[in-house]
């Protein structure tokens, strides 16, 4: 009986370790693709030689969270300020409610007005946010998370902060990057995702 318990414990530990390793591998692969697409963009703010200055926090599955999605029907479009001084039209698509370390948190999810009737982007959702790492280890102007409407399943959505990234304004001037609204300022640190550009 004791031997069976020991074997079971070893199996569970190895399985959990395998899951953690698999998740880390997935995030690392995601980041490689992210940098690749960043360089391929015709408006890319960096050169291949500058990718060595892009850094990320270690993957941490704690910050991959199944959040409750609450839709925001009937809301009116509004303008979000950008780092260039221009404004861009968005509408709130809904809210994500979740917890980190037992602390209830909310993030507002937006949809760009210009994309609503664009067949290639009508499924796109956008979360610009700030947290307590800004100015210290991450870009002062906040970070972004991209999502899809199709990611919402039965009122739930997987919110993975390990996939948050810097706006182009973190790398260079001359871009109109949306500034996260005050309602999307998290009163905690989110020590995952992309760090401050070090160039």
Q: What is the pLDDT of residue 2?
A: 44
pTM for the structure as a whole: 0.87
Mean pLDDT of 28-56: 97
CA angle 32, 39, 132 (to 5 degrees): 65
> Residue ranges per domain, the chain?
52-184
pLDDT at position 147 over 60: yes
Mapping DSSP onto H, E and C, the string for the chain reads CHHHHHHHHHHHHHHHHHHHHHHHHHHHHHHHHHHHHHHHCCCCCCCHHHHHHCCECCCCHHHEEEEEEEECCCCCCEEEEECCCCEEEEEEEEEEEEEECCEEEEEEEEEEHHHCCCCCCCCEEEEEEECCCECCCECCCCEEEEEEHHHCECCEEEEEHHHCECCHHHCCCCCCCECCCHHHECCCCCCCCECCCCC
Q: Which residues pair with 138 in a beta bridge?
A: 134
Mean pLDDT of 163-172: 97
- The percentage of the chain sitting over the pLDDT mark of 90, rounded to a whole number, equals 84
Mean pLDDT of 19-23: 77
pLDDT category of residue 4 using cuts at 50, 70 and 90: very low
Mean pLDDT of 131-158: 97
Mean pLDDT of 114-138: 94
- The percentage of the chain sitting over the pLDDT mark of 70, rounded to a whole number, equals 90
What does the mean pLDDT of the chain come to?
A: 91
């Amino acid at each position: 009986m004791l031997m069976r318990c020991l074997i079971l414990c070893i199996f569970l530990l190895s399985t959990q370790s395998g899951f953690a390793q698999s998740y880390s591998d997935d995030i690392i692969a995601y980041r490689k693709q992210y940098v690749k697409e960043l360089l391929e963009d015709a408006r890319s703010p960096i050169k291949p030689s500058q990718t060595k200055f892009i850094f990320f926090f270690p993957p941490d599955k704690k910050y991959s969270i199944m959040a409750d999605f609450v839709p925001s029907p009937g809301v009116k479009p509004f303008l979000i300020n950008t780092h260039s001084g221009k404004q861009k039209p968005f509408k709130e698509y809904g809210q994500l409610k979740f917890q980190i370390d037992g602390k209830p948190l909310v993030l507002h999810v937006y949809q760009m007005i210009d994309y609503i009737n664009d067949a290639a982007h009508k499924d796109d959702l956008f979360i610009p946010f700030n947290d307590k790492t800004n100015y210290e280890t991450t870009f002062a102007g906040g970070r972004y998370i991209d999502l899809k409407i199709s990611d919402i399943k039965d009122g739930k959505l997987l919110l993975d902060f390990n996939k948050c990234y810097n706006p182009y304004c973190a790398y260079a001037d001359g871009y109109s990057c949306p500034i996260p609204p005050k309602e999307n300022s998290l009163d905690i640190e989110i020590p995952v995702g992309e760090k401050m550009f070090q160039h």
